[in-house]
Chains A and B, each alone.
Chain A
Amino acid sequence: MIQPEAKLILDISDLHVSVEGQNILKGVNLQIRAGEVHAIMGRNGSGKSTLAKALAGHPAYSVTSGRVDYLGKNLFDFDPEERARLGLFLGFQYPVEIPGVSNIEFLRVATNSCRKENGKDELDVFEFEDLVNDRLKIVQMDPSFLERSVNEGFSGGEKKRNEILQMALLDPVLSILDETDSGLDIDALRVVSSGVNQLSSQTNATVLITHYQRLLDEITPDFVHVMASGRILRTGGRELALELEQSGYEWVDKELQGGGDN
């Protein structure tokens, strides 16, 4: 929900990011306030995932210029784990499989790291079990996945449920969900979307990176941004996503060729 006076969570100004010496983001500007849901759309290679990874602090992504304030602080002053503890959550497009590391142990260590940062008591094994069993309901996930290695052998849908389970446990301020809908069948998409909706509140914000309108039927965005060539080319409301669904991205090429700016 848009509330112009709501707390500014993320303020991105003229962000430039490169990967292996190649400039990918070329001046991104974006403001996100509490209570808002943003969707970022765009073709493959337009820079959507780079933006997500750079914000989360992936070491392969170098910020070459620009500034990002998160909750009033310079985001780049913090390591990835510190950003997570401050409430920044990245839902991975391809959640990583970690053989040998028990999912529930990982979830407990992660949850306690964030709780500790926020002055809350760390949870012991039993307390954590109670919490995780409660949160499992949000994503309708089978408890047997807790006993397995992190994401190992999980189907695409199970991996995405596990991502939203982590989001539910870490209780983030800003969630950036990178193509959470990819690889999901329609039922799984509804479950995952319902989970995101349940976790959405007036004090947090969500960024959905997606290719498809389908997800936005389930989670209603307040803003839709179209990225191209490392910039946000156009920003609109939900109707922009519907327009894209109908007319595709050809207008993007024209705007880029015509030197159009956002």
Chain B
Amino acid sequence: MLRGDFLKSLPEPRGILRSVQIRGRDYLERFGLPSGKSEPWRITDLERLKTLLSRPFFLSRDENESNLIRSMAVPPSDGVRLVLSPSLQSIDDQKLPKEFRQITGADLERLLSSNIPNSASDKDWAIGLNQATAGTVLALRVKGCNPPPLELVAEAQLDRFSPSRVVLVLDSNTQLDLLEVILGKGCSAQSHFLEIHLAEGASLNHGLIALGGGEAGLLANVIVHQKRDSSYSLSMIQEGWSLGRIEPDICQGDGHAHTTLRGLQVSKGTRQVATHSKISFQGPEGTLDQLHKALVADKSHSIFNGAVEVPQIAQRTNAVQLSRNLLLSNNARVDTKPELEIIADDVRCSHGATVSELQKEELFYMRSRGVDTRQATKLLLQGYFQDILRSLPVEAERWSVLERLLESVGD
């Protein structure tokens, strides 16, 4: 059962999220913790999940951007950086570029009222947790032909549980680069929920860089609603979480849309990182190009579930999913599972999964050219990572992700 202490420790529901918080708490109270018997949580380390919920709830913080964030990457020169915080107050519209407007009032309430988890299922449990806990929301509408890149940074507070929630709406034919950075440290626990609405012809290039540290934990959900002729590209980097779980859930509501998913997990020690992606085609002629990669060292554990739903209406869907895993140790573990549910008959859907070690012949070839094992391994890993990193928005370069990943593996 979910610890009663956790729910009791939460602040009173208030503000625009009051009704959402009440419903989320009802859900958690009724449902408790996810069950190890249910498929979405079957191989999740539920003891660690309990540990995350034992962190004291975070109440207030300095509104100023922390020194850590600034030291990791300077703000984008031609974009806008917003720091997410559980005590985030409304942002002054005047400080936002003209293409960005905050969503408020009835519009916001309507957007917030969706995505309440089914009370009989723990499929969207992490969303329920976010709704129960998040007291503030950043909601932005973007329109215009050339908005500056948006950077959202969520830095969990040391040894605390911090929720963050974002709603982003892109109007017709708007193109945006969005970089989200989630930072964990110590025994922090972060619940993050981002909901995206892409109108017809909108295009979003979304980078999600989740860098943990210590015993930090992360539960992140990304829900995307795509209209016709929209394009959504998500590149996820997940490293350093004791328990990390990212769940992208994308729906092409009318078909005729493009989705690209790129994922990279890096785990070592006894960490467990998971990606549960789901894409649902609710109209014809949609496309998916998905590549998931995991580098798994020591005794760590990587989980990938890739669900693809192609119902009868989704004729002429073209979906490709590939999971490529690299094991650096005999004690590491990879669970990778494609889940294709295809009803339509005129479709092209393929999937594949590979698990391999660093190729000995590649290493020897490089050594025979004077490159020592350490350097050769670094070059090989760099090549492995770059495949995903190069699809991040260009603004991500400031975060030196490649260097951080190489350092983390090389420790």
Q: Enumerate chain A interface residues (CB-CB to B < 8 A).
A: 56-60, 79-81, 83-85, 89-90, 92, 95-96, 98-102, 105-106, 109-110, 113-114, 117, 149, 166, 170
Cβ–Cβ contact B370 & A96, under 8 A:
no
B196 to chain A, nearest CB (A): 30
> Quick one: given A59-B364, A98-B362, are A81 and B372 in contact (CB under 8 Å)?
yes
- Across the two chains, which residue of chain A brings its CB closest to B387? A100
Name 6 interchain pairs, CB-CB below 8 A, sorted by A: A79-B372, A90-B368, A92-B368, A101-B380, A109-B379, A113-B369
Q: Which of B359, B366, B369 contacts A170 (CB 8 A)?
A: B369
Complex interface: chain B residues within 8 A of A105 (CB): 379
Q: Enumerate chain B interface residues (CB-CB to A < 8 A).
A: 359-362, 364-373, 375, 379-380, 382-384, 386-387
Complex interface: chain B residues within 8 A of A83 (CB): 368
Bound: A114/B366 CA distance, A: 12
Bound: A84/B371 CA distance, A: 8
- Across the two chains, which residue of chain A brings its CB closest to B361? A96
Bound: A128/B265 CA distance, A: 34
Bound: A114/B369 CA distance, A: 8
Cβ–Cβ contact B368 & A57, under 8 A:
yes
> Quick one: given A100-B387, A149-B383, are A113 and B375 in contact (CB under 8 Å)?
yes
> Quick one: given A59-B364, A105-B379, A106-B366, are A100 and B384 in contact (CB under 8 Å)?
yes
A259 to chain B, nearest CB (A): 37
A131 to chain B, nearest CB (A): 15
Cβ–Cβ contact B370 & A84, under 8 A:
yes
Cβ–Cβ contact B364 & A101, under 8 A:
no
- Across the two chains, which residue of chain A brings its CB closest to B375? A109
Q: A56-B368, A109-B371 are in contact. List 5 more A-B contacts (CB 8 A).
A: A79-B367, A80-B368, A96-B362, A100-B383, A110-B366
Cβ–Cβ contact A84 & B368, under 8 A:
yes
Complex interface: chain A residues within 8 A of B361 (CB): 96
A107 to chain B, nearest CB (A): 8
Bound: A248/B383 CA distance, A: 46
Complex interface: chain B residues within 8 A of A99 (CB): 383
Q: Which of A57, A59, A166 contacts B369 (CB 8 A)?
A: A166
Complex interface: chain A residues within 8 A of B387 (CB): 100
Bound: A92/B366 CA distance, A: 11
Bound: A90/B362 CA distance, A: 14
User: Nearest 7 CB-CB pairs, A to B?
Assistant: A100-B383, A110-B369, A84-B370, A113-B370, A96-B365, A101-B383, A80-B367
Cβ–Cβ contact A98 & B364, under 8 A:
no
Cβ–Cβ contact A84 & B365, under 8 A:
no
Q: Which of A58, A85, A149 contacts B370 (CB 8 A)?
A: A85
Bound: A159/B371 CA distance, A: 19
Bound: A60/B370 CA distance, A: 18
Bound: A215/B228 CA distance, A: 61
Bound: A102/B369 CA distance, A: 15
- Across the two chains, which residue of chain A brings its CB closest to B372? A81
Complex interface: chain B residues within 8 A of A56 (CB): 368
Cβ–Cβ contact B379 & A106, under 8 A:
yes
A60 to chain B, nearest CB (A): 8
Cβ–Cβ contact B365 & A95, under 8 A:
yes
Q: Which of B360, B362, B371 contacts A110 (CB 8 A)?
A: B371
B326 to chain A, nearest CB (A): 11
Bound: A100/B361 CA distance, A: 15
Cβ–Cβ contact B367 & A84, under 8 A:
yes
Complex interface: chain B residues within 8 A of A166 (CB): 369
Bound: A113/B367 CA distance, A: 10
Complex interface: chain A residues within 8 A of B362 (CB): 96, 98
- Across the two chains, which residue of chain B brings its CB closest to A84? B370
Complex interface: chain A residues within 8 A of B364 (CB): 58-59, 80, 96
- Across the two chains, which residue of chain B brings its CB closest to A80? B367
Most chain B beta-carbon contacts within 10 A, residue among A89, A90, A110: A110
Complex interface: chain B residues within 8 A of A96 (CB): 359, 361-362, 364-365
- Across the two chains, which residue of chain A brings its CB closest to B380? A101
A34 to chain B, nearest CB (A): 21
- Across the two chains, which residue of chain B brings its CB closest to A115? B370
Most chain A beta-carbon contacts within 10 A, residue among B370, B380, B386: B370
Cβ–Cβ contact B379 & A59, under 8 A:
no
A37 to chain B, nearest CB (A): 21
Most chain B beta-carbon contacts within 10 A, residue among A81, A84, A99, A105: A81
B104 to chain A, nearest CB (A): 46
Bound: A92/B371 CA distance, A: 16
Bound: A60/B400 CA distance, A: 38
A38 to chain B, nearest CB (A): 19
Cβ–Cβ contact B365 & A92, under 8 A:
yes
Cβ–Cβ contact B370 & A100, under 8 A:
no
Complex interface: chain A residues within 8 A of B379 (CB): 98, 101, 105-106, 109
- Across the two chains, which residue of chain B brings its CB closest to A92? B365
Bound: A133/B286 CA distance, A: 45
Complex interface: chain B residues within 8 A of A149 (CB): 383
Complex interface: chain B residues within 8 A of A102 (CB): 383
Bound: A109/B368 CA distance, A: 12
B1 to chain A, nearest CB (A): 47
Most chain B beta-carbon contacts within 10 A, residue among A109, A166, A170: A109
Bound: A54/B386 CA distance, A: 34
Bound: A84/B365 CA distance, A: 11
A148 to chain B, nearest CB (A): 12
Q: Which of B367, B372, B382 contacts A101 (CB 8 A)?
A: B382
